[in-house]
Amino acid sequence: MPELALIYTTREGQTAKVAERIAERFRAAGSNQVQAFTVAEAPRSIANFDAIAIGGSVHFGHYESDLVTFVKRHGNELAARPSAFFSVSGSAGSDVEPYASESAGYASEFVDATGWNPDVVGIFAGAIKYTRYGFIKKRVMRHIAGREGEPTDISRDHELTDWDDVDAFADDILRHLAPATTGAT
Ligand SMILES: Cc1cc2nc3c(=O)[nH]c(=O)nc-3n(C[C@H](O)[C@H](O)[C@H](O)COP(=O)(O)O)c2cc1C
């Protein structure tokens, strides 16, 4: 049965939320054949899926090493079917240069490092979850956020994700993946 797998890593849950939003958009468009997994939960072989979307978040300039390993290991399977990459980062929510441009840089470094050429790439602002950070991390993140023109109120969390952008990305994947996920020729 034609199916899309969403496979991601997340540390504070925002990439999981983005993956779930993409899955909801697929379901709203009439495709019930969507499954979401963390990299740790993903099946050993992805050959049974007709299309794959991979997502990761950036911490200290890098995606999780597990994600890089997964994409390298499954390079042949990814190349053989429609695929998409979505990146979640703080810098994607910044309007201040050079930080604003860093988000695209992370994604292109990932593509270069893995040798994978996804058909669709989405770059999304994540969240600043001050209430989940420890004493030091909270203050480091406030400093970074201030520098990048992002919220510095550490008494609460701030979601920077533009959900319309995520929906548009899901629609873009749907267009690219339509032949596979609908079984059409
Ligand atoms: C300790 C830490 C380091 C981070 N480093 C970066 C970074 O180098 N560049 C960036 O753009 N965003 C950075 N961020 C922002 C995260 O990418 C953002 O919070 C994202 O929503 C995390 O997604 P996740 O909850 O799925 O892991 C960092 C966040 C934390 C908490």
Residue-wise pLDDT for 110-144, tens only, equals: 999 999 999 999 999 999 999 999 999 999 999 99
Domain check: are 60 and 12 in the same one? yes
Domain check: are 89 and 145 in the same one? no
Residue among 59, 150, 166 whose CB has most ligand 1 atoms within 8 A, to mutate? 59
Ligand 1 atom, smallest distance to 16 CA: 26
Residue-wise pLDDT for 19-51, tens only, equals: 999 999 988 887 778 999 999 999 989 998 989
How many Cα atoms within 13 Å fall on the side-chain side of residue 74?
25
Ligand 1 atom, smallest distance to 61 CA: 8
Q: What percent of the chain has pLDDT over 90?
A: 84
| Mean pLDDT for the chain overall | 92
Domain check: are 49 and 91 in the same one? yes
Q: Structure pTM?
A: 0.94
| CB-CB contact of 83 with 63 (8 Å) | no
What is the count of structural domains for the chain? 2
The domain in which residue 144 lies consists of 129-160
Domain check: are 81 and 142 in the same one? no
Domain check: are 32 and 72 in the same one? yes
Tokens of 117: 């050429």
- As for ligand 1, residues whose beta carbon falls within 6 Å of it are 10-15, 57-61, 88-91, 102-103, 126-128, 137, 141
